[in-house]
Amino acid sequence: MADFTRYSSGPAPEWIQFEKTWKRPASPAAATLEERRDLANARTAKLFADVLSRPDAGLDVADFDIPTTNGVRIPIRLYKPHQGSSSPLDTQVGLPLYISFHGGGYHLGSLETEDPFCRQIALSTGAVVLNVNYRHTPAWTFPAPVDDAWSAFSWVAANGALHGIDLERIFVGGVSAGASLAISVARRALGQHDASIPRVRGLVLGTPSTVHPDHFPVELLQGSRSSLETNADAPFLNTAIIRSFLDLYKPDPTDPNVSPLLLPSTEFLGLCPVSLHIAGLDPLRDEGLLMEEKLRAAGVETTLHVYPGVPHAFMSLPTLPSAQKWRAGMQQDLRGWME
């Protein structure tokens, strides 16, 4: 059985210092759920733009609408480093691609919230980056985001070569709910017997959601309390907020696209290398660590990064030292796979 108590060290000094000056933004009392979401997205987009900026030099950026299920089209944004740049990845067979799925409990997030981060990845790694704005709750519920994630991957398979993408070097990742979508894409691609569907070559999972809380496999832990309990009142994302997101999402709790942790290790045989980034104060901490153990048991190459004493959404606070470490770490992992 797994013992993750070593990661329960309390808040990190950087988080204690941050909380002294931070105040949760308030929304107008009369605002609707959608209006509160849009305000939160606008604040996040501005924060990332202010900290990371939105560089244009060296990039070609294009927006597309792609088809998905139920006759719906979703927006995506493609960031391509200029051909002939100094990137060592610029070869005759095309550039590698990183597909990014944002977090936000299937409710928050947009092209604009992720735009500065995607630009940074493209410039740092020399790869093309695809920013996917999948459908959100409450208008859309499970499995719409899962379908959209696969639709984005399928669009790349059909159109990527036209945009100078090397279909043999596709990498996928995301944060939180986005990490769950990334797992679903990698698993589905692995199971395809269609030669026109490429496989995912590397998977980046930031604070991943891997199991519905009603089905957390506590029997795999040493002791009877998981991080869902010990971090139940954690800042930014607590168990009550998790439940509220799931109430909007309305998933099938045991569906593999919601709870891949419940799958046997054999379901991950042949999966690409995986980079996992886990936060110590996260209610989802243990399910991420258990996912890493399950992948290793299947012979998958894993790289584990743990950020002690910071909460689930620390990546959305770009000035935190741990957030800076996360950005550098995931980009380094991507560069290592792409070389």
pLDDT of residue 70: 86
Tokens at 76, concatenated: 């995506």
Q: In sequence order, what are the residues at sequence separation of 6 or more whose Cβ sits closer than 8 angstroms to the Cβ of residue 90?
A: 81, 83, 84, 126
Helices 111-125 and 33-52 cross at an angle (nearest 10°) of: 30
Q: Between 92 and 302, whose confidence is greater?
A: 302
Residue 161 pLDDT: 95
Could you tell me the pTM of the whole model? 0.95
Active-site residue flag, 63: no
pLDDT bucket at 124, cuts 50 / 70 / 90? very high
Compute the distance between CA of residue 315 and CA of residue 321 in angstroms, rounded to an integer.
10
Q: Report the CATH fold assignment for 31-338.
A: Rossmann fold (3.40.50)
Active site residue: 259, 312, 316, 333, which one?
312
pLDDT of residue 178: 98
Active site annotation includes 196: no
Give the β-pairing of 302-307 and 274-279.
Answer: parallel
Mean pLDDT of 318-328: 97
Q: Which of 222, 295, 215 is nearest to 4 (CA)?
A: 222
Q: Would you state the pLDDT for residue 218?
A: 94
Please state, in angstroms and rounded to a whole number, the distance separating the CA atoms of residues 142 and 154: 19
Task: Confirm whether 265 is a catalytic residue.
Answer: no
- pLDDT-derived band at 272, boundaries 50, 70, 90: very high
Q: What is the mean pLDDT of residues 265-278?
A: 97
Kindly report each contact of residues 56-62 with a partner whose C-beta sits within 8 Å and lies 24 or more positions away, as own/partner.
58/82, 58/85, 58/123, 59/119, 59/122, 59/123, 61/119
Q: Are 326 and 305 in contact (CB under 8 A)?
A: yes
Which member of 148, 282, 286, 333 is catalytic? Answer: 282
Residue 213 DSSP label? G
- In Å, how far are 92, 142, 150, 238 from 251, measured between CA atoms? 43, 5, 17, 19
- State the pLDDT confidence band at 8, using cuts at 50, 70 and 90: confident
Read off the tokens for 276.
């996992």
pLDDT digits (tens, 9 = 90+) for 34-88: 999 999 999 999 999 999 999 999 999 999 999 999 899 999 999 999 965 444 4
Which pLDDT does position 336 carry in this prediction?
Answer: 96
Reply yes or no on whether the pLDDT at 122 is more than 70.
Answer: yes
Q: How far is CA 48 from CA 44, 52, 77, in A?
A: 6, 6, 17
Domain ranges of the chain: 31-338
Burial class (CB in 10 A: 0-12, 13-18, 19+), 298: middle
